[in-house]
Structure 1
Amino acid sequence: MLILRRTVLFAAFALLAACGRNDLEEPPVPLGDFALGLNIIVADNVQKVPISREASVEEWEAVMQEAVAKRFGRYQGSKLYNIGISVDGYALAPPGIPVVAAPKSVLVITANIWDDAAEQKLNAEGKQITVFESLSGETVIGTGLTRNRKEQMEALSYNAVKRVEEWLVDNPEWFGLPPKAPEPVRQGRPVGGR
């Protein structure tokens, strides 16, 4: 019985680890005429949750700028778009007691996008995004035990910038593509809604 439990546990961890794979080596999702112009990250007013490892403004700006460059530098469109991101708040999980008191790392950002040539902001209000580290075999027990501060920041930045990309993909008209078709409605709810 104990062997069966261990086998199931290891299989579950392997499955969770596969869920957190890196997609940057795959071709980028279509984003029309998008090419990355300015990559502006500010963290001057970042708030740290009291139970967190320390990270400086400069560290957040550098790690986020690198994540934006890696994801959006892959696009080779004909028009420049500037991305501005404010790092609003974070918690980097410190070491704790596994499972019972293992806090999760979190990052809150606000993103904006500008048409460079038109010098015009495309979104009416900043898009606030909250992300946690991806679920994997090691993060189930809390990343304070399994990752150092830099690795946590890189994982959070990767997830946040991926969500920014998803937000841009949801607004294709900004990049010379036809608007997304509305989701079909079934019994007063979008298909797939709860």
Structure 2
Amino acid sequence: MKAKPQTPNPGHRPASDRLVDAATELFYQHGYRAIGVDEIAARSGVTKTTLYRYFESKDDLAAACLTRLALEDLDQLMAIAQQHPDDPVAQIRAIVSSAAVKVTQPGYRGWLLSNLEAEISDQDHPIRRVARLYKTRLRDHLVETARQAGFGAPASLADGLLLLIEGVGASWHSLGAVGPAAKLALSCELLMQGHRTVAHAA
């Protein structure tokens, strides 16, 4: 058995990765508008000149942060589908469970993508574009999974699940993990039960 690899020295990682790491952490802790490129460069251990060599602006860097997170989430959706290839209901439950677990993790501060999106009013801003693309793909995946599971009105179910999952992050800021977030799994089960009734009545 191979020995457990040591955590690589952050200084040995490519500068672009260190910038995305640092920006993601700072944006998550303090928000988008409160953080400037000076702080990001200092946290990542690179100069501002290097930062602008990789990213034209803070907007582009933020989009890179969210794109990486979105791709990780989409990869997780594919992994869940592979774990439950013949059970779309189990796939939906696993997606909900993953969201519910994140709320209880130390340092949780909501859904970064939605947190940053809420700070931006310009619909054509890079942050908004990444958010729109990711949420569209997530919704499409939920619609198709609900359809495969035989639920009535699968698009409506997908929308309801998205509202509940995203609502967890929004409610956490004021009510914490013991508020509505604690009932995410139950709320989603009740929603699915209602759509089973719709399917049986059709």
> TM bucket by the smaller chain?
under 0.3
Tell which has more relative contact order, 1 or 2 (C-alpha 8 A, sep 6+): 1
Task: Give the number of the structure whose residues are more often helix, by fraction.
Answer: 2
Task: Give the number of the structure whose residues are more often strand, by fraction.
Answer: 1
TM-score (norm 2): 0.21
TM-score (norm 1): 0.22
